[in-house]
């Protein structure tokens, strides 16, 4: 009897250990306390703007992006926006949402990311189904490239109609923000000081179009790479600068070998942190 009991206990411990090692993800709050998906979703309701920081190739990020959008759209009026769409494509994106052009035309006219079909199309379909706005918030890539090469001043040469696709000039910029300083330090002196400026013009432009399209009483859900909103910098810094009265909540995505405890480096980087097993498959 004793031998049988020990065998059963050993079997349970082995299976428990295996389950812990193979758990796909967990969610933590900013202080490192584990929370359920439902608790996170309910926690988002008291905010005006949600900045969902993803890993672009992470399937857990993309699944939860849809869940956030669906949950909030069931309970509130919502608008969507995303880094993955550039502002000069807004007209054709809106035409597609209104069924004024078909998918073939949409695929041709809008500069879609290579992983659009697998990772972002479901968000567009959700907006389309509930008749919600979906805002192309990002700066056209060619203009960010101009800043990388020639600083903010290079944008002064743009014609007025093209300046409508970027944040109003001149753009406020704080080179001492830790995120921008870290970007330079990671390059170990091998990059131009314009590199963080190119990041800043993206952050400023996304914040600009979020605020331009924000509607009182609505929830604005914005999808972006985690580095654009981690540590309450990036997009969030510009939102606070321009509209400090709005309540903004951030979500980040990180990977860890062990998802059962939030690593110290990841504590406090966002209001909610999605920890994904580092062995998780990627979409590209």
Q: Where are the domains of the chain?
A: 27-277
The pLDDT of residue 190: 60
Other CB atoms within a 10 A radius of the CB of residue 35 amount to 16
70-98 residue pLDDT tens: 999 999 999 999 999 999 999 999 999 99
Mention every residue, 6+ apart, whose C-beta is less than 8 A from residue 246: 48, 49, 211, 214, 239
The H-assigned helical ranges of 166-221 are 178-186, 194-213
Other CB atoms within a 10 A radius of the CB of residue 52 amount to 25
Task: Return the percentage of the chain with pLDDT > 70, whole number.
Answer: 90
Q: Match 């008291």 to its residue by tokens.
A: 46
Q: Is the pLDDT of residue 108 over 90?
A: yes
Structural element, H or E, at residue 9:
helix 2-21
Please state the three-class secondary structure of 58-98 as a single string. Answer: CHHHHHHHHHHHHHHHHHCCEEEEEEEEEHHHHHHHHHHHC
What CATH number labels 27-277?
Answer: 3.40.50.11550
Tokens of 267: 């504590």
Task: Return the percentage of the chain with pLDDT > 90, whole number.
Answer: 88
30-77 residue pLDDT tens: 999 999 999 999 999 999 999 999 999 999 999 999 999 999 999 999
Mention every residue, 6+ apart, whose C-beta is less than 8 A from residue 230: 53, 179, 250, 252, 269, 270
Residue 186: pLDDT band (50, 70, 90) is confident
The pLDDT of residue 129: 97
Q: Is the pLDDT of residue 189 over 80?
A: no
Q: In what order do the strands lie in the sheet with 248-256?
A: 34-35, 25-29, 272-277, 248-256, 49-54, 219-225, 78-86, 134-138
The pLDDT of residue 188: 62
Tell me the Ramachandran region of residue 26: left when phi exceeds 0, alpha when psi lies from -120 to 50, beta otherwise.
Answer: beta
Q: What is the mean pLDDT of the chain?
A: 92
Residue 101: pLDDT band (50, 70, 90) is very high
Residue 6: pLDDT band (50, 70, 90) is very low
The pLDDT of residue 197: 97
Angle between helical axes of 194-213 and 178-186 (0-180°, round to 10): 140
11-34 residue pLDDT tens: 444 344 444 557 999 999 999 999
Tokens of 58: 């992470």
| pTM for the full predicted model | 0.91
**Ranges 100-109, 183-192, 239-248, 274-283: which has the least confidence:** 183-192
Angle value at C-alpha 209, between 101 and 219, nearest 5 degrees: 85
The pLDDT of residue 192: 83
**262-281 average pLDDT score:** 97
Tally of CA atoms within 13 A in the half-sphere of 123 that contains its CB: 33
């Amino acid at each position: 009897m004793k031998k049988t009991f020990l065998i059963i206990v050993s079997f349970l411990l082995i299976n428990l250990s295996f389950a812990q090692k193979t758990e796909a993800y967990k969610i933590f709050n900013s202080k490192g306390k584990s929370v359920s998906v439902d608790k996170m979703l309910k926690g988002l309701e008291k905010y005006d703007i949600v900045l969902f920081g993803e890993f672009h190739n992470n399937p857990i990020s993309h699944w939860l992006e849809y869940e956030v959008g669906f949950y909030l759209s069931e309970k509130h009026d919502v608008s969507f926006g995303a880094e993955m769409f550039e502002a000069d494509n807004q007209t054709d994106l809106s035409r597609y949402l209104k069924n004024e052009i078909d998918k073939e035309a949409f695929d041709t006219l809008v500069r879609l990311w290579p992983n659009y079909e697998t990772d972002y199309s479901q968000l567009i379909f959700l907006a389309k189904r509930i008749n919600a706005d979906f805002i192309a918030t990002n700066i056209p890539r060619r203009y960010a490239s101009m800043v990388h090469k020639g600083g903010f001043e290079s944008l002064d040469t743009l014609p007025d109609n093209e300046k409508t696709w970027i944040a109003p000039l001149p753009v406020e910029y704080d080179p001492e923000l830790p995120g921008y300083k870290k970007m330079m330090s990671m390059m170990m002196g091998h990059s131009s000081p314009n590199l963080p400026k190119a990041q800043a013009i993206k952050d400023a432009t996304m914040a600009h179009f979020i605020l331009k399209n924000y509607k009182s009483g609505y929830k604005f859900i914005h999808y972006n790479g985690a580095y654009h909103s981690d540590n309450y910098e990036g997009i969030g810094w510009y939102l606070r600068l321009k509209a400090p009265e709005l309540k903004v909540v951030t979500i980040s995505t990180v990977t860890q070998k062990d998802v059962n405890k939030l690593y110290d480096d990841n504590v406090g980087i966002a209001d909610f942190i999605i920890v994904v097993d580092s062995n998780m498959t990627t979409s590209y």
